[in-house]
């Protein structure tokens, strides 16, 4: 376990380093990407641009620029080029929103997908299975910005059943918090429900034909116990892996569209706005934040995997 | 080890005229076609045949494990007054594992890979008996010791992958014995194991039979296994029993040409080695398209006109009503064809297709 953690930490350092370099370089070669020109406003004078360049260090060697920026990332002094607000604070402000969205949606999609997938497998070939298959395909095919906007418009604005976007702190009012998040959770979860229930269905159908399930039946166990203790447990192993990875991806920027549609002001939305303005510091910080979560969740998935499947040993 | 005449008394399990067919895309597969069997308490009945002869399907049908929307059943299987073939699933569940237990062919895949073996045994005990966890666990440890797992108290918390194939099969046996079943169905229990382990497992099964008095149905294609342990043998071919008798009768006085072929194809250390091990020519028929009359006809070197009629399974030897076979040849003809030399078990290698052809 100790060795496993050390190895993952080294891996994480490497990934963060690589991600930061790539992000930094990309924004340096993007046409029209000179921050000084953009910061100087419309029709600036050359002297103004030059002053900004000096002040922010844009005239330095690119390695020096990278180094000073990275130093700021770790000391928390990184500041947005355009809003002049500290990036760290913005991310900390957005984090509970993003996590609220991601955790709730992840629980929702896992739970519903297990129900759908299991039911679909048990009823394989029958009407219920076909119906759920069609529903799943529709779910997979609907882009979140479209279904999110529809929900917001009809359920939020027209019918007034749900708030029209926005976010309430959990600590302020947990019920209102959940109430504001129901639509975003659902919109984000739909795609994953479709996908996961399909994967689970096929895993369950594979597992049902395993010899040990026949053994369980020969032991005289009930169908429910066979399905849950023997079939589901074995079918869940690949799903849990997916779950961890997708959760990491959603926290690290996969929820950009959902956050934007429902105006949740999370990290994803912050990143999206920064990209639109070619604002390098927030983009860099949010990208590294995303990479951090993805690597972290990868490690957690591996630990979970070893727990779920005793044949696997961490090293 | 072997008994003379078939033991008489009240059989614990009686299968009568069992027919099992499956609807598949290639047509109806008649896997079992009128099989009748009787199992006495404490006896080992071997069901022998090639793959696809319907022996496993017969065994699994008794347990209700072949039930599916595509399967059709006819006939009866009585266990202690319960009709198993059309018993409701709930009733069958109480018999499975508790009264009739089963050991499967492949111990590598027959245990749940992500569950401790102790939990898998305890789960079965608690399904059938209201036993507190600790007591069920103690019973599981005893069972593991009984089947010869060393350090059972520690090993009970291991996962299947931490055991070798032979040890896993012992775990399977412990599992099968956990509720003291009266009938044990072993479906090729040693096929996946290497030869030295096979002998150990068979020995263990025989000891347990002697201890518990359970009747054992041993399904196998391996006549070597049968010679070690069986009291009676039923030879199956293409869904039918073609010959039935005691161990001695089948080995020393086999009546059906298919049995001759099976016996002839055993590798033997007490005979001069032939160039090649004799084999029965041809392949078993497809179960969805079987030859009319005697199913063995196309592969039989002794086929004659009458073979297009289905031969009944009946006693054809005088004075032995329990030794039955399905071959139209007269006992005298069979005697000549077999070329039995005195003192030899079974028949000469030359008796069937491979060499006669």
In angstroms, the CA B130 to CA B138 distance is 14
- DSSP bridge pairs for B71: B22
Contact B127 A311 (CB under 8 A): no
- Residues of chain B in contact with residue A229, where contact means CB-CB under 8 angstroms, are 115, 123
- Residues of chain B in contact with residue A209, where contact means CB-CB under 8 angstroms, are none
Q: Which residue of B has its CA nearest to A306?
A: B114
Asked whether A235 and A200 are in contact (CB, 8 A), the reply is yes
- Residues of chain A in contact with residue B112, where contact means CB-CB under 8 angstroms, are 212, 215-216, 230, 233-234
Contact A211 B93 (CB under 8 A): no
Q: Which of B63, B98, B104 sits opposite A211 (nearest CB)?
A: B104
Q: What is the pLDDT of residue B345?
A: 44
pLDDT category at A314 given cuts 50, 70, 90 is low
How much of chain B, in percent, has pLDDT values that exceed 90? 39
pLDDT at residue B344 greater than cutoff 60: no
Q: Which of A218, A225, A234 sits opposite B96 (nearest CB)?
A: A218
Q: Which residue of A has its CA nearest to B127?
A: A221
pLDDT at residue B355 greater than cutoff 50: no
* Count of beta carbons in the 10 Å neighbourhood of residue B42: 17
Mean confidence (pLDDT) of chain A? 85
What's the gap in Å between the CA of A9 and the closest CA on chain B? 29
Q: Which of B93, B95, B159 sits opposite A222 (nearest CB)?
A: B93
Closest by Cα among B338, B352, B322 to B6: B322
Q: What is the mean pLDDT of residues A23-46?
A: 78
Of A39 and A296, the one with more pLDDT: A296
Q: What is the pLDDT of residue B2?
A: 39
Contacts of A193 (CB under 8 A, 6+ apart): A108, A109, A112, A113, A116, A136, A139
Determine how β-strand B215-220 pairs with β-strand B183-187.
parallel
In angstroms, the CA B175 to CA B125 distance is 9
Distance of CA A293 to the CA centre of its chain: 9
- Residues of chain A in contact with residue B111, where contact means CB-CB under 8 angstroms, are 212, 215
- Least confident stretch, A144-148, A251-255, B301-305: A251-255
pLDDT category at B271 given cuts 50, 70, 90 is low
pLDDT at residue B356 greater than cutoff 70: no
Residue with tokens 């419309």: A42
pLDDT at residue A210 greater than cutoff 50: yes
Q: Taking the CA of residue A263 as centre, how many other CA atoms within 13 Å lie in the half-sphere pointing to its CB?
A: 7
Q: What is the mean pLDDT of residues B296-301?
A: 87
Cα B337 to Cα B255, B334, B349: the distances in Å are 10, 5, 12
- Residues of chain B in contact with residue A215, where contact means CB-CB under 8 angstroms, are 104, 110-112, 172, 175
- Residues of chain A in contact with residue B217, where contact means CB-CB under 8 angstroms, are none
In terms of Cβ atoms closer than 10 Å to its own Cβ (0-12, 13-18, 19+), residue B151 is exposed
Mutate to test the interface with A, among B110, B126, B171, B192 (most CBs of A within 10 A): B110
pLDDT at residue A246 greater than cutoff 60: yes
Contact B93 A220 (CB under 8 A): yes
Q: What is the pLDDT of residue B273?
A: 66
pLDDT at residue A29 greater than cutoff 90: no
B16 vs A: CB within 8 A: no
- What is the tens place of the pLDDT at every residue in A278-298? 888 888 888 888 888 888 888
ipTM above 0.90, yes or no: no
Q: What is the pLDDT of residue B5?
A: 41
pLDDT at residue A221 greater than cutoff 70: yes
Output the DSSP codes for B300-327. Answer: -TT--GGGGSPPP-EE-STT-TT-EE--
pTM, whole model, 2 decimals?
0.79
Q: What is the pLDDT of residue B172?
A: 92
Q: What is the largest CA-CA distance in chain A?
A: 86
């Amino acid at each position: 376990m100790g060795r496993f953690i050390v190895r993952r930490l080294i891996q994480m350092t490497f990934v963060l380093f690589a991600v930061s370099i790539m992000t930094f370089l990309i924004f340096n070669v993007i046409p029209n990407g000179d921050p000084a020109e953009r910061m100087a406003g419309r029709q600036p004078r050359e002297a103004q641009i030059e002053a900004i360049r000096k002040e922010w260090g844009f005239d330095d060697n690119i390695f020096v620029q990278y180094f000073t920026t990275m130093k700021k990332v770790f000391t928390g002094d990184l500041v947005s080029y355009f809003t002049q607000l500290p990036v760290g604070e913005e991310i900390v402000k957005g984090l509970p929103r993003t996590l609220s969205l991601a955790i709730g949606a992840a629980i929702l999609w896992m739970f519903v997908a297990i129900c759908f997938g299991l039911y679909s497998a048990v009823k394989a070939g029958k009407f219920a299975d076909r119906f759920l298959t069609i529903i799943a395909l529709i779910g997979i095919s609907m882009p979140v910005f479209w279904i999110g906007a529809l929900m917001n418009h009809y359920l939020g604005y027209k019918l007034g059943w749900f708030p029209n976007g926005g976010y309430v702190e959990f600590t302020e009012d947990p019920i209102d918090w959940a109430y504001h998040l129901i639509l975003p959770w659902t919109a984000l979860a739909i795609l994953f429900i479709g996908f996961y229930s399909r994967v689970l269905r096929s895993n369950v159908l594979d597992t049902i034909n395993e010899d040990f399930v026949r053994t369980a039946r020969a032991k005289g166990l009930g169908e429910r116990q066979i399905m849950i203790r023997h079939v589901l447990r074995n079918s869940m192993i690949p799903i849990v892996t997916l779950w961890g990875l997708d959760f990491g991806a959603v926290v690290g920027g996969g929820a950009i569209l959902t956050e934007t549609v429902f105006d949740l002001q999370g990290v994803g939305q912050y990143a999206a706005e920064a990209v639109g303005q070619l604002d390098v510091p927030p983009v860099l910080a949010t990208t590294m934040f995303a990479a951090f979560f993805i690597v972290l969740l990868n490690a957690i998935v591996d630990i979970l995997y070893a727990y779920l499947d005793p044949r696997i040993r961490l090293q | 080890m072997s008994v003379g005449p078939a033991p008489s008394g009240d059989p614990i399990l009686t299968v009568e005229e069992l027919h099992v067919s499956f609807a598949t895309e290639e047509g109806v597969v008649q896997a079992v076609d009128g099989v009748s069997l009787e199992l006495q308490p404490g006896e080992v009945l071997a069901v022998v045949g090639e793959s696809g002869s319907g022996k496993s399907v017969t065994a699994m049908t008794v347990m209700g494990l072949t039930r599916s929307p595509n399967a059709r059943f006819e006939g009866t299987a009585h266990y202690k007054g319960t009709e198993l073939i059309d018993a409701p699933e709930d009733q069958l569940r109480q018999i499975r594992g508790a009264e009739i237990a089963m050991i499967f062919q492949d111990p590598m895949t027959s245990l749940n890979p992500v569950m401790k073996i102790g939990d898998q045994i305890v789960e079965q005990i608690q399904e059938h008996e209201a036993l507190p966890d600790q007591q069920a666990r103690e019973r599981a440890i005893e069972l593991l010791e009984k089947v010869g797992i060393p350090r059972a108290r520690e090993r009970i918390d291991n996962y299947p992958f931490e055991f070798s194939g032979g040890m896993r099969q012992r775990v399977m046996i412990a599992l099968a014995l956990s509720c003291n079943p009266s009938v044990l169905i072993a479906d090729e229990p040693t096929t996946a194991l290497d030869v030295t382990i096979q002998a150990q497992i068979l020995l263990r099964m025989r000891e347990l039979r002697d201890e518990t008095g359970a009747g054992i149905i041993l399904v196998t294609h391996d006549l070597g296994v049968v010679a070690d342990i069986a009291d009676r043998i039923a030879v199956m071919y293409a869904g039918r029993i073609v010959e039935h008798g005691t161990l001695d009768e089948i080995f020393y006085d086999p009546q059906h040409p298919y049995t001759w072929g099976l016996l002839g194809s055993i590798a033997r250390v007490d005979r001069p080695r032939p160039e090649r091990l004799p084999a029965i020519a041809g392949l078993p028929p497809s179960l969805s398209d079987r030859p009319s009359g005697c199913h063995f006809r196309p592969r039989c070197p002794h086929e004659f006109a009458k073979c297009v009629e289905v031969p009944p399974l009946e006693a054809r030897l005088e004075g032995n009503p329990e030794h039955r076979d399905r071959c139209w040849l007269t006992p005298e003809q069979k005697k000549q064809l077999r070329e039995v030399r005195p003192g030899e078990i079974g028949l000469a290698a030359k008796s069937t297709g491979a060499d006669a052809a």
